[in-house]
Structure 1
């Protein structure tokens, strides 16, 4: 399988999307997606961990005894998450305080461990690295859309908290300064409602695509031994 295979990206972004199809990592997806900035930041951290964890496991898979593979996988993930956690603390300290426990919790994120067990432990390093990136980007897209929906409906803004990353930047008041806000959108129930709508839209698109595929007319083919008319 090629590392740049189209199927790798289609699976990660759509067919096997971690947030919409596999429904893994729901705790950080629901908890951190109050704003787009928070959601995308955690998504980027997850991409880095998934890519490096897949690379490490795929490289070492022939040296890891089958009986202790899960503890070794968790140890590798924990080491990478610790590095990412310390980098956030050192260079994005304010954002690090906002994300809180959810960066260290990447260690227990089922998306990372499940992909290592299902893919990286059975494939070569390059393919595994790009698979981790594709799966991470799929999660990032879900987080970005969910964070945008909740922030826009809940506060009427976009890029809230961007000043934690870019000094002097500020949120964009998309719905104006008079928008009263819709508090439930940025509370936990709003996260469930928004994700449910996102999954419903995803399933509707898939069902429409399947219906169009089945409804497509089949062009009859002439028999192989047919003689064309002169």
Structure 2
């Protein structure tokens, strides 16, 4: 069993997202340890990009803050090397194709593999363009995570057939951000995926409260939260570790008995 699949092996998975370098790489490293201690099962590490098209204003602003603070790809790799000396929690990079292209696709994925990064999410790469990343990733043991949106059934089936790691179910059309209500039929999306392949499905985009997390986790195998955590990083800056850990604990507790 891969480490990513293992993250879903003990009940519903809670998956927090942070933007590396916001407010600093030193704090980002501490956040990883604190979120794991608070119950996170897998952690998404955002590599900042100057034009993050899938992101709403909260994470866009975090990307710019991180870049201004010097959170370049090599510095993030160095942070992950330090993290891997202390924990083996599953880690997935989330970024954009240009970041990987600029670094060199094989070089990027080789470095990620060497550091024990388990997966990669490329928010702007559609299914039709994923082959070059997926092929190298598969060869090196870094799983390319597929995203599905509330679109046509045929498209979801197609994506699910060769998905790896877990399937990222986007709860709402549009960009990331906190939402008051989520009306998408997540259960139907998950069933379409599972009909093609028995692979974990985690829901993201818009989830911010324990009640929302519980509702979504009843329909899927895990819950992904980004903007609400990034907002805490913005609010508390260098002092964000405890507020984020408390938040992650409350979210994990909400789904623990499902």
TM range (shorter): under 0.3
TM-score using structure 2 length: 0.22
TM-score using structure 1 length: 0.24
Name the structure with the higher helix share.
1
Larger radius of gyration: 1
| Bigger RCO of structures 1 and 2 (CA < 8 A, at least 6 apart) | 1
Name the structure with the higher strand share.
2
